[in-house]
Amino acid sequence: MSKRVRKKSKLAAFLIFVFSVCMIGGSGYLISKVLLLKNIENTIRLVGSISLCVICLVLLLLSLRFRNKYKTGALIFTLLLMLVIGSGSMFAGYNINKVYDTLASVSDTSGYKTYSSSLVTLNSNSVSSIDGIKDETLGILSDKESIEGYEIPKEVIKKKNLDNDVKEYSTFIEMIDALYKGEINYIFLPTNYSVMFGNMDGYQDIKDKTKIIFTEKKKKKEKDSLSSTGKKVTEPFSILIMGVDSEEEEIRGSSFNGDSLMLVTFNPKTLSSTILSIPRDSYVPIACFSGNRKNKITHAAWKGEDCMIDTIHNFLDVDIDYYVKINFKGVVKLVDTLGGVEVDVPYNLCEQNSSRQWGKNTVYIEEGHQVLNGEQALAYSRNRHPNPEMCSSKWTNYNSSDFVRGLHQQEVVTALLNKFKDIKDLDTVYKLLDTISVSMVTNMSTDQILSLYNVFKDAASRSDGGSMDDILGIQRLQLNGYDTRIVDYGGTNLSLYNYVLYDESVKEVSDAMKENLGIKKSKTIKSFSFDVNNPYEKEVIGAKTTGKESVVLVPNFVGQLVSNAQSWGSKNGVSIVVNGGNGYVLSQNVPAGANVEDVKSITVNSGGSKTKTNDTKTDTEDTSCKTNEVYSKTYKKCVCMTGYEKNTSGKCVKEDDDSNINTGDDNKKTDTPIDNNSDEDDKDEE
């Protein structure tokens, strides 16, 4: 063998070694990543992995043979194949790993929660650092179980060696009021306080009025945290979708309002599902409040997803297997990445943008079939008021409600699912993964998330290319109830608008979910009727079911005889403590409108009579007041007594009279009487 031939042989051997390493390394990397995809196309993964190994072995043997036989052309071709397989395998493995890592980052089964507390002062305060608060009193929460209001502040004080005086408050609202009044200059609040309280009347400008000068975070393992249930997604399951209104795109560790709550049940065996949008103002027992005190369900989110999940489980009697939290800002990016979503918009509307800004940032949506961008899709999902004070009549000529908003949210979710099933390009997948990784979190394990592939593959195989609404057989549910104002006695002590659910409607919705989950036997429909002149509309279970009004409120005893108050107390199991003897009630320590369930006793001060004395009007007397009216010092006029409301004729009649108009402003302070004679329509909190 000549020297030149030997040299070529050595070069060929070197190239075979290099290209073999590339091929075997890339193939091994791909196979290792493919093995992570448990329960997805198991046969294809096995056959594919074995085939790849066989191909690598064959190419290696061929390269050695061609080298020995000095077939240069065939060897070069074989080496090129080895390079293509190696680099292609690396590329495929990288993409599989990126998907897996993203799903793993979204999955949070550790049971750890991140809490964040901030030291807050007025924006007019020149101090901008915690180092400048020497000799100042610091406000914290008195509740020792509050991590953000008590535990973290105490740790900050110790960590920073602060010898400042500390004043404890019973509620965050009480603390904020003290800050506004100048009674204290520095208070500790949850870092996301502007979102938590910015919707309440009197606190809408809290973000502009205050500033944060120090923030401390703490990661803590929850004893009762809802980690993955271990339930297979091939079995009937329920999942709670929570829309999070957070100022930051990063979703982990932030307090939030439960602005969007959708509970979905899915039965993979029957390919049927139910979807329920839960009104944010639903008045239900809150699992993590002392004594399960009732409140609007949105406030359960202040204590985290575990509190929200337990609260929903308790009042609907349905186990929640999984949850998904998604940030509203993430929804905007998600929709934009998918190129928008198709929705039939029923009317022109305007709404705030994702940062809750109006003015030049106002989002406008026109009536008709639209492809909505991210900001528009979020605005459509959020809107429940015409907002005439912000937009012209072109954009405010409609009626809406929390139920309409819930329907819009379901439409957007369905539109997103339709977009997901049509994704084909890798660039879109990358963008989606980047968005999901920071804006979404779930308690499903990575393997459970991957198992959803088989569920939706099965659903798609049984369809004829229809929409996801048809493929998943969605049955819409709706909770029915009545509006009322209830004083959050023992909590924020604000008078809040609430939606009290009818027990009968709750049961009907609960039964429908249990039937879909296979827990309760389904009712057999034996007859069906229709009218050819009217299009068929699928029943919304629970929407029209009514029942007895279940909440008893404390009346306004002022101006009434003490004996009337005592009689009411005896009937409702509330102790009435009287100061001043018999006569008319002059004041009471428990505000009118409080839920009787939150009250054990009421102290009333009494004395005097309804006769005018020294020409001085009192809250209980005025010769010009009509039947069922009392004089209010606050409003300087006669108002309807508690339990009465003005009808269209201007007379105070019982509140259950059909001619009454029930309006109410959310979140008025309890030291302000509710004026049923007000000419202004009140508004719910946004």
210-263: pLDDT as tens digits: 999 999 998 877 655 555 556 777 889 999 998 877 666 677 655 556 668 999
pLDDT of 151 > 60? The answer is yes
| Contacts with 397 (C-beta within 8 Å, 6 or more apart), sequence order | 347, 348, 386
pLDDT at 344: 94
Which CATH class for the 112-221 domain?
alpha beta
Look-up: residue for tokens 């945290």? 225
Q: Is 400 or 624 the better-scoring residue by pLDDT?
A: 400
pLDDT at 115: 85
pLDDT at 39: 77
Q: What is the mean pLDDT of the chain?
A: 82
Q: For residue 542, which of 297, 278, 241 has the smallest C-alpha distance? A: 278
pLDDT at 5: 61
As a CATH number, domain 226-329+425-521+537-548 is: 3.40.630.190
* Confidence band for 604, pLDDT divided at 50, 70 and 90: very high
Q: Got the DSSP string for 297-311?
A: GGGGGGG-HHHHHHH
Residue 108 token pair: 């949070």
* Confidence band for 487, pLDDT divided at 50, 70 and 90: very high
pLDDT of 363 > 80? The answer is yes
* Confidence band for 620, pLDDT divided at 50, 70 and 90: very low
pLDDT of 467 > 80? The answer is no
- As a whole number of angstroms, the distance between CA 310 and CA 286 comes to 8
- As a whole number of angstroms, the distance between CA 598 and CA 665 comes to 21
The average pLDDT across 107-125 equals 86
pLDDT digits (tens, 9 = 90+) for 119-143: 999 999 999 999 989 889 999 999 8
pLDDT of 472 > 90? The answer is no
pLDDT at 330: 85
pLDDT at 342: 93
The beta-strand segments (E) located in 237-356 are 237-244, 258-267, 272-277, 283-285, 294-296, 322-327, 341-345, 349-351
pLDDT digits (tens, 9 = 90+) for 58-74: 999 999 888 887 788 89
* Confidence band for 680, pLDDT divided at 50, 70 and 90: very low
Q: How far is CA 115 from the centre of its chain?
A: 17
pLDDT at 285: 95
pTM strictly above 0.85: no
Look-up: residue for tokens 């990543």? 33
* Confidence band for 649, pLDDT divided at 50, 70 and 90: low
Question: Do 112-221 and 226-329+425-521+537-548 come out as alike in CATH topology?
Answer: no
Delimit the domains of the chain by residue range. 3-106, 112-221, 226-329+425-521+537-548, 339-422, 562-669
* Confidence band for 671, pLDDT divided at 50, 70 and 90: very low
- As a whole number of angstroms, the distance between CA 62 and CA 79 comes to 10
pLDDT of 7 > 60? The answer is yes
Q: Is 441 or 257 the better-scoring residue by pLDDT?
A: 441
* Confidence band for 197, pLDDT divided at 50, 70 and 90: confident
pLDDT at 402: 82
Q: Which CATH number fits domain 339-422: 1.10.1060, 3.40.630, 2.40.50, 1.25.40?
A: 3.40.630
- As a whole number of angstroms, the distance between CA 202 and CA 210 comes to 14
